[in-house]
Amino acid sequence: MAFLKRSPWILHYDASSCNGCDIEVLACLTPLYDVERFGIINTGNPKHADILMITGGINEQNREVVKNIYEQMPEPKVVVAIGVCAASGGIFRECYNIVGGVDKVIPVDVYVPGCAARPEMIIDGVVTALGILEEKREKMTGAAQTKESARRAAGEST
Ligand code: SF4
């Protein structure tokens, strides 16, 4: 199977943020920061998403939702945790219902620091995520080609 290069699709999920980081994510889509110049498309469907951007920490209510979103995304996929809440629970980490950062429930590839994370840092995180996504795509393509070569070799020898 070939993993075609195409515009990366991003899904943004607000776990339990104060909305400070969400406002900065929205700012990235405005003409001032114009994150779409990287060919990125915003999607609301996890089945179409390559990159999951999460703001806010994980709590008892959203932990299963976050896992579910992640599991619906096709491989290869990259997760970007935006802001200190997504990294560790941030200022809410001592709250009774907070589990912690996003990596308590799913693997995180990129951490964007800040409270709130600044648009420039978010864009930097997205660019890093694009590089990781490409690496993962190449690995999958290489693995698929190796498997196909082995299959053909086995077919030729029988
Ligand atoms: S990191 Fe700061 S701005 Fe972002 S969700 Fe947490 S408290 Fe709000």
Residue 115 CB less than 6 A away from ligand 1 = yes
Q: Is the Cβ–Cβ distance between 42 and 78 less than 8 Å?
A: no
Cut 0.95: pTM above it: no
pLDDT, averaged across the chain = 91
**pLDDT tens digits, residue range 7-25?**
889 999 999 999 999 999 9
Closest approach atom of ligand 1 to CA 84: 1
Q: Is the Cβ–Cβ distance between 4 and 96 less than 8 Å?
A: no
Q: Which of 12, 13, 21, 62 for mutating ligand 1's site (highest number of atoms within 8 Å of CB)?
A: 21
Concatenated DSSP letters for 24-44?
HHHHHTSTTT-GGGGT-EE-S
Closest approach atom of ligand 1 to CA 17: 5
